[in-house]
């Protein structure tokens, strides 16, 4: 069965964007960017909320920018053909290899898990991930913690009223001070 993963950049105090909505502190250096390239290779479909979808639209035409370096061209080459499902109540259409979700998140994940296919079902965006977490649908949490305290904003981890035990499966410290932590949800048999 395909795993559902939630992966984002996060401040040390736990936010994906600061109180002003900014996330300029998440600009990855080459080493961290390569880790994102490696990760996206294992994704079969990406689920996005509207805000993240709109942020990622840049990549739809980024490959036409003659100043783009090789790693960013490689990312665009992987990202653009990747199937994406966008959850939005305000968008009426989407671009590229994306479609609007026709049902709820749980139903979409159930359908994608039942389909034949390779790669993880990745979730991007804290609101969408929070909904998936509340329904017990996330199998792995992957966080790249940046050495910055932003003091508030949108939290990486959804506020929940029940405990979730995790098993550490991978760690990596980058030269920039970014620390990658990968946890699998410990499910009881």
**CATH code, domain with 161:** 3.40.430.10
Question: Does the global pTM surpass 0.85?
Answer: yes
Q: Flag whether pLDDT at 158 surpasses 80.
A: no
Find which of 66-80, 138-152, 160-174 is predicted with most confidence, using mean pLDDT.
Answer: 138-152
Q: Residue 163: pLDDT band by 50, 70, 90 thresholds?
A: confident
Q: Flag whether pLDDT at 35 surpasses 90.
A: yes
Q: Residue 95: pLDDT band by 50, 70, 90 thresholds?
A: very high
Please tell me the predicted confidence (pLDDT) of residue 169: 98
On whether the CB atoms of residues 133 and 47 are closer than 8 A, the answer is no
Rounded to whole angstroms, the Cα distance separating 134 from 43 reads: 22
Q: Flag whether pLDDT at 189 surpasses 80.
A: no
Domain count, the chain: 1
Please tell me the predicted confidence (pLDDT) of residue 116: 85
Q: Mean pLDDT over all residues of the chain? A: 92
Q: Which domain does 173 fall in, by range?
A: 4-185
Please tell me the predicted confidence (pLDDT) of residue 102: 85
Mapped to the 3 state alphabet, what secondary structure does 47-105 carry? EEEHHHHHHHCCHHHHCCCCCCCHHHHHHHHHHCCCCEEEECCCCCCCCCCEEECCCCH
Q: Flag whether pLDDT at 159 surpasses 80.
A: no
């Amino acid at each position: 069965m395909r795993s559902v993963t939630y992966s984002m950049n996060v401040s040390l105090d736990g936010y994906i964007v600061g109180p002003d909505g900014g996330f300029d502190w998440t600009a990855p250096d080459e080493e961290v960017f390569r880790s994102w390239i490696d990760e996206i290779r294992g994704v079969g479909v990406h689920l996005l909320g509207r805000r993240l979808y709109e942020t990622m639209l840049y990549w739809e035409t980024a490959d036409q920018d003659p100043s783009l370096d090789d790693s960013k061209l490689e990312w665009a080459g992987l990202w653009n053909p990747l199937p994406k499902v966008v959850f939005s109540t305000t968008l009426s259409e989407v671009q590229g290899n994306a479609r609007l979700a026709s049902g709820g998140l749980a139903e979409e994940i159930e359908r994608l898990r039942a389909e034949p296919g390779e790669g993880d079902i990745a979730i991007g965006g804290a609101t969408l991930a929070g909904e998936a977490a509340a329904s017990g649908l996330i199998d792995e949490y992957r966080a790249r913690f940046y050495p910055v305290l932003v003091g508030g904003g949108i939290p990486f981890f959804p506020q929940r009223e029940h405990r979730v035990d995790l098993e550490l499966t991978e760690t990596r410290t980058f030269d920039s001070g970014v620390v990658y932590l990968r946890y699998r949800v410990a499910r009881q048999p």
